[in-house]
Amino acid sequence: MCEDDRRPHRGVNVLVAEDTPLGRKLMQARLLVLGCTAEFVENGQQAVEKALEGKYDVVFMDLMMPVMDGLEATAAIREAGKQDLPIIALTAAVRNEDREKCERAGFDDFLGKPIDPEQLEEKLAKWAGTTAPSAGEEVPGEPDGPMPLDKARTAAELDIPPELYDELLHNFHDDARDGLEQLDAAAGSRDSGRIAQVTHRLKGSAAMLRLDRVREITSDLESAGGTDRDWEVVHHRIGDLKDAVGQLRSLLA
């Protein structure tokens, strides 16, 4: 595909509210490839300020952010009079109750996380009035189950340069090591809230990077409760997570 075809959304001005550095870097790379001009904020309060002072064609808003979450931020933008600005929710959970909450807050649409490049283009085409992906364009398929990580293939599926994917893996590895220290401390004090907070962050980053084993383990940890039986599961799965992060280290250049 020629470069002009790969930049069908040239000139579209986008605001992205995403609290994780990894999420911001991935969106920046994808939007750059598509020709968009993008600004990034890391919490809902900043998103409200930017949306009210700037001229954007579309806003992508994460739901779970510090200071002010995406629901509150979107409601504030609507209450301030920005009724025609398309706001798209970035969320890993799109249950009926989540959709209802988002619709009440004023969201126009949803984009699932981890973000699929083709779906991102479709949302831009729908809400910014630009060109949709070609129906004949070949899109890499998803594997049927967990596979050994192929960095070059995964970077191509994410539509980002291989060197950026490698950089993001390094960043995730460092974050995961810090997270494991926090999980050990939280498990020792049986702080289920802290475990859920840390594993939710790691799970989201792992999903973005297609680290299926890490995503599966952190999902289990996030959902584990505080009963005696569940705490045994927590300690076991933290051990599994340490093994998975150790295996990731061997893949880093």
Q: Which domains does the chain have, with CATH numbers?
A: 13-139 (3.40.50.2300), 162-249 (1.20.120.160)
How much is the average pLDDT of 181-199? Answer: 91
What element of type H or E holds 41? strand 37-41
Report the percent of the chain where pLDDT is more than 70: 86
CA 111 to chain centre: 10
For 16-74, the pLDDT digits (tens) are: 999 988 999 999 988 988 889 999 999 999 999 999 998 999 999 999 899 999 999 99
Higher pLDDT, 227 or 239: 239
Do the Cβ atoms of 40 and 8 come closer than 8 Å? no
| Contacts for 93 with CB less than 8 Å, ≥ 6 apart | none
- Is the four-CA dihedral 161, 210, 139, 135 of positive or negative sign? negative
What element of type H or E holds 154? helix 151-158
Cα-Cα end-to-end distance for the chain: 29
Bridge-based pairing state of the strands 13-17 and 109-112: unpaired
Do the Cβ atoms of 202 and 214 come closer than 8 Å? yes
Rounded CA Rg of the chain: 19
CA 158 to chain centre: 12
